[in-house]
Amino acid sequence: MTLRHPGALIVAFVLTGTFVTTRLATAQQTQAPSAATEDDDGVLRPLEPDFTLINLPTTLPLPVHGGNFRLTHRFNGNLRGRSFADEASSLFGIDEGATIGFEYRYAVVRHVEVAAYRTSFDRTIQLYGKYDAFHQSASTPLGFSALVSVEGTNNFQGEYAPAVGASISRNVAGAVALYAVPMWVHNSAAGTGVTRDTGMIGLGGSLRVRPSLFVLGEVTPRIAGYAVGDPGYGFGISTRVGGHVFDLTFTNTTQGTTFAQMARGGFPKSLYLGFNLARKFF
């Protein structure tokens, strides 16, 4: 079609410019969420279903003003050193009592979480904070969270054990999440009458075998300072259903759910059945 009138040319020019401007704005809006999503604490992270692996902290962030409840349960019956009939008679340790812990965490501001955890072992209370400095993305090969905590026995009335550390993560091939958790714990020999420190580095990972099913494993060798017993370790399976996460675990200690307890290691020739149950509130 030929435009013979100058006014028509002006109108066509304006309409064309408006169309181009609108398309550019739409493209920018379409691209913006992908960049923002990399730093969105509330986005689903398929390879990180929970804020802990078995006992080790992960780099999963919590959106601001979001919360998370966690229950830990470690049965006291040792699954090693007895016959299958003996194990079955106690329902694989379930009849022999358990060490139970409760935790609630809350995101006070963006990237910053605080948590309170109480375990029935020595009535220990652990208070800690977590800062999610950055997440893995197209431009960042690792995720990194800084950790600081202090715990005390007898409902936080004595034997205080502060700790500082970090959780470093790397997702591989869309199916594996790997973690390294270096940590220093002061007064890790609390209860012995001697003040000692422990340096340790937790190593763990999860394999996503189904969209909501994971295989877990971790070990925490001590690399310096006070170290008794065997390195704590654990393995198990985990499933995510909506905001719930359930882990069936096997560990070599019933008492290694706080940072200072993890520094004291596991028991030789021991294996204990347990589980974790978590619920997100966001």
Residues 6+ apart with CB under 8 A from 16: none
Asked whether 142 and 136 are in contact (CB, 8 A), the reply is yes
pTM over 0.75: yes
pLDDT at 47: 95
Q: What is the largest CA-CA distance in the chain?
A: 99
Residues 6+ apart with CB under 8 A from 81: 269
Residues 6+ apart with CB under 8 A from 192: none
Pairing state of beta strands 124-134 and 112-119? antiparallel
| Spans of all domains in the chain | 38-281
pLDDT at 95: 85
pLDDT at 12: 43
Asked whether 127 and 103 are in contact (CB, 8 A), the reply is no
Of all helices (H) and strands (E), which one includes residue 33? Answer: helix 6-37
What are residue 273's DSSP bridge partners? 250
What angle (nearest 5°) sits at the alpha carbon of residue 9, between those of residues 6 and 10? 90
CATH topology of domain 38-281: Porin (2.40.160)
The gap between the terminal CA atoms of the chain, to the nearest Å, is 57
Asked whether 256 and 184 are in contact (CB, 8 A), the reply is no
b/e burial code for range 79-93 (CB count within 10 A of at least 16 → b)? beeeeeeebeeeebb
pLDDT under 70: residue ranges of the chain: 1-38
Q: Of 232, 233, 231, 237, which Cα lies nearest the Cα of 216?
A: 237
pLDDT at 77: 93
pLDDT at 264: 95
* Radius of gyration in angstroms for the set of CA atoms belonging to the chain, rounded to a whole number: 25
Asked whether 233 and 196 are in contact (CB, 8 A), the reply is no
What is the C-alpha separation between 79 and 139, in angstroms, rounded?
Answer: 46
